[in-house]
């Protein structure tokens, strides 16, 4: 599995509750552009519509001037998985966000997550914990010298 694009801000802005790997319906020129790594998923989200999941705001750059960059793309999952995801987001007020775009055995896949938005104080706590961990590692590293 090769990571084509990732959304690191997702882990900062959301509590990740459940993850899925879905296929994505792309046109030929979009596949070529994605394999070259010209995908941006920052700020994109996934919306259920008519028992399907649609990726909105995912930017795949044009390949040799062809196609649209921000087209709505369908995610490919089993109907059971789609129904399970839709039930969870309707019940708890969660959202679906893309975490990574992957290349798996020549196929383009999207790692999506059921997520709940973090409050500002949660973000500050996460930053403080990360800084404390960094300080501890720095202290241990200097102590061993």
Q: Is 61:38 a contact under the CB 8 Å cutoff?
A: yes
H/E element, 13 = helix 9-13
DSSP string, 77-124: --HHHHHHHHHHHHHHT-EEEEEEEEEETTEEEEEEEEEEEPPHHHHH
Q: Is 51:82 a contact under the CB 8 Å cutoff?
A: yes
Round to whole Å and give the CA distance between 95 and 123.
18
For 5-25, the pLDDT digits (tens) are 888 888 888 888 999 999 999
For 67-120, the pLDDT digits (tens) are 666 788 889 999 999 999 988 888 777 899 999 999 999 899 999 999 888 877
Domain boundaries, the chain: 2-118
Does domain 2-118 match CATH 2.40.280.10? yes
């Amino acid at each position: 599995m090769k990571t084509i694009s990732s959304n690191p801000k997702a882990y900062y802005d959301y509590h990740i509750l459940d993850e899925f790997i879905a296929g994505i319906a792309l046109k030929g020129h979009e596949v070529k552009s994605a394999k070259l790594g010209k995908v941006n998923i920052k700020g994109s989200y996934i919306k259920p519509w008519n028992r399907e999941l649609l990726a909105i705001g995912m930017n795949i750059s044009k390949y040799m001037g062809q196609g649209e960059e921000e087209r709505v793309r369908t995610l490919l999952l089993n109907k059971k998985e789609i129904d399970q995801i839709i039930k969870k987001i309707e019940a708890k007020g969660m959202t679906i966000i893309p975490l990574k775009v992957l290349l798996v055995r020549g196929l383009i896949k999207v790692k999506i997550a059921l997520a709940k938005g973090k409050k500002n104080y949660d973000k500050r706590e996460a930053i403080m914990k990360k800084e404390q961990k960094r300080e501890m590692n720095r202290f241990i590293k200097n102590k061993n010298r």
